[in-house]
Amino acid sequence: MLNKVVCLAIPGTAPFEFGVVCEVFGIDRSDMGGPRFDFAIATADPGEVPMSLGFSMNIPNDLSIAADADLIAVPAHKIGPVDERYLEVIRAAEARGAWVLSVCSGAFVLAQAGILEGRRATTHWMHADRLSAEYPGIEVDPDVLFVQDGKVVTGAGTAAGIDAALHIVREEYGATATNVIARRMVVPPQRDGGQSQYIPTPVPECRSDAFALVIEWMLEHLDQDLTVDQLARRALMSGRTFARRFRAETGTTPAAWLNRQRILRAQTELEQTDDGLEQIAQRSGFGTAAVMRHHFLKVLGTTPTAYRRAFGARVAG
């Protein structure tokens, strides 16, 4: 079980991405049913550590506290050579089977440590070509928010670090705990695509108030058979215009969006209730347990029964 998390404060670290790691893993949310992590920040030379924007932070812990961490997090960092001591910490974490997370250009630090060789990874789209050129042994995907390969998770630019960090929480604690953190952070809980080495782009929030209202209605009626024409009428558009605008707003099709939300609804119910699979399938909009099982296998790589066994028992405990 993920417990001890250590964030590396490397000179030149970007404060926003650093803050993302601290926000997800450094706040005790046990009063709301969320996880509480043993969180610490470490640097090679304790004391003042310069950040990328011209100010410094005082970090009292050296790298020895990272020796038994369950997760090592590397925020965005000014691209360039990194002190070998940080790289040794990262290599040791990967070798003992701990999680390793990078945010944005932090992927370059993981690449210097050698743990991305032969792996799929991502970084900020502005740096993707450079990462590919400097480390040709890495399969760089610039079109996703984050990638998991084994227990190494690389996040794309800036706020995508939230998605990557929440993905790790979900892998360890399930959807309910992840929702607690997301709700406190006032962000949508991003879901993964269920593949071990590739996570497609989760759905962003809508920029249009009109579409936000339609999406809110869709969430309230997931158990119904929702068609594009029906949704288009609610938005006062033609079916073709609605489908085009929906993709522009959310980055995906109405059908794909609905399927993702139905899986999320089913995950939550599997964790929080003892209801039968047929009941959950109907309330989630899948209709039957067989259809729900098909989508769980396709998207999450597991069955509803196995998912409940993994996460429902933890919630009950």
Q: Tell me which residues are annotated as active site.
A: 104
Q: How many helices (H) and strands (E) does the chain have?
A: 14, 10
Q: CA-to-CA distance for 239 and 245, rounded, in angstroms? A: 10
Which amino acid is present at 289?
A: A
Nearest Cα neighbor of 66 from 91, 45, 47, 93 is 93
Nearest Cα neighbor of 171 from 67, 286, 300, 82 is 300
The strands making up 152-155's β-sheet, listed across from edge to edge, are: 38-42, 4-8, 71-74, 99-103, 152-155, 146-149
Nearest Cα neighbor of 100 from 157, 43, 21, 12 is 21
311 Cβ contact list (under 8 Å, min separation 6): 173, 174, 175, 176, 267, 270, 271
185 Cβ contact list (under 8 Å, min separation 6): 23, 24, 162
Q: CA-to-CA distance for 252 and 246, rounded, in angstroms? A: 7
Helix (H) or strand (E) holding 271: helix 254-272
Q: β-strand 146-149 against 152-155: which pairing, if any?
A: antiparallel
Looking at residue 199, the DSSP 8-state letter turns out to be B
